[in-house]
Each structure stands twice: as structure tokens, then as C-alpha cells.
Chains A and B, each alone.
Chain A
Amino acid sequence: MDTNIPRTIPRKSATFDDATLAEIRRAASTGIYDIRGAGAKRKLPHFDDLLFLGASISRYPLEGYREKCGTDVVLGTRFAKKPIHLKIPITIAGMSFGSLSANAKEALGRGASAAGTSTTTGDGGMTPEERGQSKHLVYQYLPSRYGMNPDDLRKADAIEVVIGQGAKPGGGGMLLGQKISDRVAAMRCLPKGIDQRSACRHPDWTGPDDLEIKIQELREITNWEKPIYVKIGGARPYYDVALAVKAGADVVVVDGMQGGTAATQEVFIEHVGQPTLACIRPAVRALQELNMHRKVQLIVSGGIRNGADLAKALALGADAVAIGTAALVALGDNDPHYEAEYNALGTTAGAYDDWHEGRDPAGITTQDPVLAARLDPVKAGRRLYNYLKVLTLEAQTIARANGKSHVHNLEPEDLCALTIEAAAMAQVPLAGTDWIPGKMRF
């Protein structure tokens, strides 16, 4: 080799990057698609691409520590005899006992109740631990109907008819055999140790007209007391929200593609559905056109991490948000404290997403009794409570800075966008301009 001749340096392909090459090798050696937990990991237009304007001369702010800024929200005011009154507009998203340990479910209930908000069951039924520790418990009504029974339905404070979720709109679920303990198996009426599939469509209704009848049945069984939520993945939010309203929903939950899952194909998580930011305005527009904005409440989920995300979602028209992944992190998921054990699993704290394997060092996404015992539900519940308080304080800080005496008074006019994509999706002006892509200005 003539060292005097300049050589090109090794150059890796942007298309065939290291992660792509590793996946091709993994697929070739196993013959099966990659399954993992959590939501979309790719970079997406998100709330970070929006900024609040704050107040100055044209708007005046509220005093940070002296002037009140309300945070409460009432869900289910349309038809339910007993709407839910929450102290904060942050709810805990549905996560099943089965995908999570009983201690984790209890911790979620403890943290949420202390903060004055609701938690939600999941695909697997209601546990006494969760009901006992949750002041406000939303009972999910899913296609699998695992654990579904009229007694628990009546014990719930609200019912969430799950049509889809953001991580996999159009997909069902799978709880792999290794997480099926005796208790999980008994609750789902299936043998221990086998893969438990959850269907992607409900077994006894199809389409919006049937959904209306199904909602009527659920109301009849529960004496028209419980708010009925309809949860959809971020597929076609404008049409789906309109149809959910038509079907009689009290509350619509829209879950964007950053929303997590316990176990789904990587290709599904990363390539199906829309980012949360892109879902909110079409959902709000559907409600406004039906004169149902604020009458049918909108809960937005998928990638809510801090009070700024919360405030931005509310400013775009949501009544509340739901958190899942962030709540698990608050409990202790992916904590660097367990770095050595994450390394032993071939990953690192912060990247661990094989929640379906049931080997979670933090004891959260597992049914292994030894691992599950690591999570103290009282301490973990306190961490969740602290985190929820911080989100609330942060959102109040922003609301006051924009002159709002309640977080629900935040509005799109308080926002600008840093990117053209975010401006188009959120329908707020690009920073420094009055340009909203796709919207004519006269």
C-alpha cells in the first residue's frame, strides 16, 4: 500500500446504518420480527418544536406564587350521572396487570390517588390491589375481554372502550408465555405459560353504528352512572373522534405513536400511526365542528414528559393528558441504579424495552416474584406523586406566564412553532412569522 496516496476513510451508509444492519442480521438468524415494548423511538415532530410566547405588554402575566392558577378537570359531563372530578389534568394510561407486576399497579394507584387523579386498568382485568389503591379507576373494555365481568364494571369510576392505541393503531396485543403466571392465567381464563393473544377488533361489534349500541349496553348495565371513554390510536383522528362522539362517548382519548405498548412488533411501532402533535388539532377540529369541544372531553397521550408538554397539549385544545411510559420511569423503570443488570441483558439503562420478556431489573414489567419484590409500591407511589406534582407546577408556571388563571385557558394563540412541520401540524405560526402552513391568511 502506498501511504503517499490519500485514501478515502471508511464511510457507513446513512441508509444502512448500524441499527439497520444489526436488525437485518437478527432477522436472518431468527426468522421472526423484533418485538419490544415502549413507543416510537425515532425522532418525530413533537411538543419540543413548539414554544410559548409568554406575556409582555399585549398580555399581562399572573404572579407566580400569589395568583391562583386552577388545574382541575371534570371528565364525563355529557351523559354520565357521575362524572369524574380530577385535581390535575394528568391521568395514568391503561397498563395491564400481566404486563406490569401487581406492585407496579398498586404503586400507580397510590401515586395517582395522592395526586388526585385517575389510573386505568389494562388488558387483563381489574386487580383488588389496583381498585383498592385507586380513588378514581378507569376500567378498560378491550377486544380480548380478559377478566371482564359486570361486578368489576360496576366497581369502576369510568369505562374506557379501547379501539386502538398509538403504538399500534389497528393491532391487537400479545402477552408472551413467560409472563403468564398462575394468577395472570386465572384472570384471563387461559392455561399458564402460553402466549396470550389479544384481538385487534371487538368480538361483538363492528363500526360506529354498532359502537353506539355497545355504549348503550354498557350504560344500561351501569345505570348510566359511569363516564364512557373511547380510546383511539392516532390513525385518522378527525374522523375517528367525530365517530366516537356520534357513538355517544363522554370522553375521547387520542393516543399518538409515541405512546407505549407492553409488546408489539418494532415495525408496527415505528411505521404505523401519526405523531401525537399531528393528532391534536384534527381531533379538536372534529369536536368544534360538532359543537362538542369541552362538552366531550379530549385526553391526549403519547410522549408527555413534562409540564411544558402538558401545557402545550392543553393549549392545543386537550382537556387532559395521559401518561404511561413517563409514569413507569417515575416508578423506577430504566433506572441507572440497575445498569449492571441492564448490561447483562445486552442493553443499557434508558434503552431497555424488552418488557415482554418479563426480566425487568426494576421489577415493573415482570411477573417474576423475586424481581417484582424489588419495587416497593409505597415508595414508588410516592415517586409518581412527586412527578405528577412537578408536571402540574410546571404547567401552572407556564400558564401564569401567559396570563392564565386556569391551565385550560391556554390557547393556540399562546404558541409558536420552531419548525415548518410543527407549525403545520399544530396549526400555530412559525416563530417570527404569521405563517401557518396550510392556512390562508387574509
Chain B
Amino acid sequence: MNELDLKKEGIRGINSKLQTLPKNTNEKHWVVTNPMGQHSIAVGLDGPLQIDIKGHVGFYCGGMNKESEITIHGHAGVGTAENMMSGIVWVKGNSSESAGATGNGGLLVIDGDASSRCGISMKGIDIVVGGNVGHMSAFMGQRGNLVVCGDAGDALGDSIYEARLYVKGKVASLGADCIEKEMRAEHIADLERLLKAAKRKEKPSEFKRYGSARKLYNFSVDHADAY
């Protein structure tokens, strides 16, 4: 285990160190201390590292991550794991808005609550939220899974494409073109896998699935009122 003190190294020092490690390095486990809510910690990583951040982080922690497993032992700001490609970002506390935005792959776990626009424009990422998500979550979600173990705010899945949403609790309202859908065997298997990966105790049978009605896929004036 290696330690990086953000107070001493600064953001550039920490990111530069983590980004330039050779892919086959033996120094895989890094602990970042004194994150102090700073922005852009551990962004653009490209390799199978294990990063433990001991405290709260600001915007975009783990942004565009590839392969690394990043654990935030605290709360996270806006855009956690934005545009992640692969790997894992795990928030032990709560996460602010736009968590997992535009993510292409990998797994984002938020043990606590996520704010609004969680999974906005998601493109293949899997997101598991232990608590609630705010309004407009999975807005224009293209691909991937959003699992919400608590409640979802207003306009869930507005203008959604092919992303799959699973919510255990209440949904305040569904957005344009988002409907409740049948939970088939493939979805139960998917959900089981995701809950297990996120170390959740909930059962797939407790969730409802939501997704696209696909009525807004090609513009029709008769659907203009949906917007």
C-alpha cells in the first residue's frame, strides 16, 4: 500500500502519479489522504489500480475511469465517475447530482443517496444506489442499468432510450416516454448480479422495472405534448 497526501502533493501531483504508473505495476494499491473535498481526484486513470480515498471529494472524482477500483470513504460532489469506461467507483456516503453521467461502462455504487440527474445520458454504465435518487435521474439514458434501492424523484427516465431502471421504493413520477415494464427472467438475473456486486441485501423480486415506451424514438407531431 502506498500513500498519497493530497495536502502535500496537490491534485496535479496525485493524478500525475496515478496516471503514469505502468499498466503492469506492482504498486496497485494507493491511499489518498486529506482529499479535502477537492475536485477531479483520480480522474482519467487507465489501469487496474485500487484507490482508497479517505474522506470527502468534490466534483468528478473517478471521471473517465478505466479499469481502476476507486473507493471514496466519504461523500462525493457532482459528476462522480462521469463518463466512466470500466472499473468500479464506490461511494461509501452520499453523492451529489449527475452521478455516473454519460458513463459507458463499469460499476458505480453509492451506498447512500444520490441527488438529481443520477445516470443522466448513461451509455452503458451500471449504477447501484443504496438510498434514493433525485429528480430527472436517467434522463435520456441510452444503455446500462440504474438500480435504486430507495425511492426515485420526479421525472424518472425522462426521454429514456434503452437504459433499464430498477426501483425498489416509490417513484414520484415517470418522465416522458418512461413506463413500468415487465420483469422477465433476464432482468431478474441482471438485477441479482448487480445487487450482489454492490453487496446489497435486497432481493430482485422487491423491485419494479422501468424503461422506454419507445414512442418518442422518431418524431411525430401527435406526441409533441409529451415534451
A193 to chain B, nearest CB (A): 8
Contact check, B102 vs A205: say whether CB atoms are below 8 A apart: no
Q: Give CA–CA (A222, B46) in the complex, Å.
A: 12
By a CB distance below 8 angstroms, the chain A residues around B117 are 203-204
A156 to chain B, nearest CB (A): 13
B71 in contact (CB, < 8 A): no
B173 in contact (CB, < 8 A): no
Given contacts A150-B46, A223-B16, contact A204 B159 (CB under 8 A): no
Contact check, A189 vs B124: say whether CB atoms are below 8 A apart: yes
By a CB distance below 8 angstroms, the chain B residues around A174 are 219
Contact check, A195 vs B218: say whether CB atoms are below 8 A apart: yes
Contacting B98 at CB < 8 Å: which of A30, A148, A150, A204? A204
B59 in contact (CB, < 8 A): yes
Can you report 27 A-B residue pairs in the complex whose CB atoms are below 8 A from each other? A145-B83, A145-B101, A148-B83, A149-B83, A150-B64, A189-B142, A189-B143, A195-B219, A199-B121, A203-B102, A204-B59, A204-B79, A204-B120, A205-B59, A210-B78, A213-B58, A213-B60, A214-B59, A214-B60, A216-B11, A217-B59, A220-B15, A220-B40, A220-B43, A221-B44, A221-B64, A223-B16
Contact check, B63 vs A148: say whether CB atoms are below 8 A apart: no
By a CB distance below 8 angstroms, the chain A residues around B97 are 204
A290 to chain B, nearest CB (A): 23
By a CB distance below 8 angstroms, the chain A residues around B79 are 204-205
Instruction: Produce 1/0 per residue, B106-120, CB < 8 A to A.
Output: 000000000001001
B156 in contact (CB, < 8 A): no
Instruction: Produce 1/0 per residue, B75-119, CB < 8 A to A.
Output: 000110011010000000000011001101000000000000100
Cross-chain pair count, CB within 8 angstroms: 107
B1 in contact (CB, < 8 A): no
Which residues 151-207 of B sit at the A interface, judged by CB distance below 8 A? 159, 161-162
Q: Give CA–CA (A406, B176) in the complex, Å.
A: 55
Given contacts A149-B64, A153-B64, A221-B63, contact A213 B217 (CB under 8 A): no
Contact check, B219 vs A204: say whether CB atoms are below 8 A apart: no
B78 to chain A, nearest CB (A): 6
By a CB distance below 8 angstroms, the chain A residues around B143 are 189-190
Given contacts A145-B121, A150-B64, contact A197 B140 (CB under 8 A): yes
Q: Give CA–CA (A203, B98) in the complex, Å.
A: 7
B66 in contact (CB, < 8 A): yes
Beyond A150-B66, A150-B85, A190-B162: 4 further Cβ-contacts under 8 Å? A149-B64, A194-B217, A203-B82, A222-B44
Q: Give CA–CA (A224, B15) in the complex, Å.
A: 11
Given contacts A150-B66, A189-B104, contact A194 B218 (CB under 8 A): yes
By a CB distance below 8 angstroms, the chain B residues around A205 are 59, 78-79, 98
Which residues 12-44 of B sit at the A interface, judged by CB distance below 8 A? 12, 15-16, 19, 39-40, 43-44
Contact check, B78 vs A204: say whether CB atoms are below 8 A apart: yes
Secondary structure at the B interface, as helix, strand, loop or mixed, is loop
Interface size, chain B (Cβ < 8 Å): 42
Contact check, B140 vs A199: say whether CB atoms are below 8 A apart: yes
A113 in contact (CB, < 8 A): no
Instruction: Produce 1/0 per residue, A177-217, CB < 8 A to B.
Output: 10000000000111101110101000111000010011011
Which residues 214-244 of A sit at the B interface, judged by CB distance below 8 A? 214, 216-217, 220-224
Q: Give CA–CA (A404, B66) in the complex, Å.
A: 51
Instruction: Produce 1/0 per residue, A144-186, CB < 8 A to B.
Output: 1100111001000000000000000000001011000000000
Contact check, B121 vs A203: say whether CB atoms are below 8 A apart: yes
Contacting B63 at CB < 8 Å: which of A188, A199, A217, A224? A217
Contact check, A189 vs B85: say whether CB atoms are below 8 A apart: no
A32 in contact (CB, < 8 A): yes
By a CB distance below 8 angstroms, the chain B residues around A30 are 221
Residues in chain A within 8 A of chain B (CB atoms): 30-32, 144-145, 148-150, 153, 174, 176-177, 188-191, 193-195, 197, 199, 203-205, 210, 213-214, 216-217, 220-224
Contact check, B142 vs A204: say whether CB atoms are below 8 A apart: no
Q: Which 9 A-B pairs have the closest CB atoms?
A: A221-B44, A204-B79, A31-B221, A194-B217, A145-B102, A204-B98, A150-B64, A204-B101, A189-B123
A382 to chain B, nearest CB (A): 37
Given contacts A203-B101, A204-B102, contact A213 B59 (CB under 8 A): yes
Contact check, B218 vs A204: say whether CB atoms are below 8 A apart: no
By a CB distance below 8 angstroms, the chain A residues around B58 are 213
Q: Give CA–CA (A216, B64) in the complex, Å.
A: 14
By a CB distance below 8 angstroms, the chain B residues around A199 are 121, 140
Given contacts A144-B121, A224-B12, contact A217 B40 (CB under 8 A): yes
By a CB distance below 8 angstroms, the chain B residues around A145 are 83, 101-102, 121, 123
By a CB distance below 8 angstroms, the chain B residues around A31 are 221
Contacting B162 at CB < 8 Å: which of A191, A210, A214? A191
Contact check, B221 vs A197: say whether CB atoms are below 8 A apart: no
By a CB distance below 8 angstroms, the chain B residues around A195 are 217-219
By a CB distance below 8 angstroms, the chain A residues around B140 are 197, 199
Q: Give CA–CA (A220, B11) in the complex, Å.
A: 8
Contact check, A190 vs B142: say whether CB atoms are below 8 A apart: yes
By a CB distance below 8 angstroms, the chain A residues around B39 are 213, 216-217
A142 to chain B, nearest CB (A): 10
Contact check, B63 vs A149: say whether CB atoms are below 8 A apart: no
B159 to chain A, nearest CB (A): 7
Q: Give CA–CA (A195, B218) in the complex, Å.
A: 5
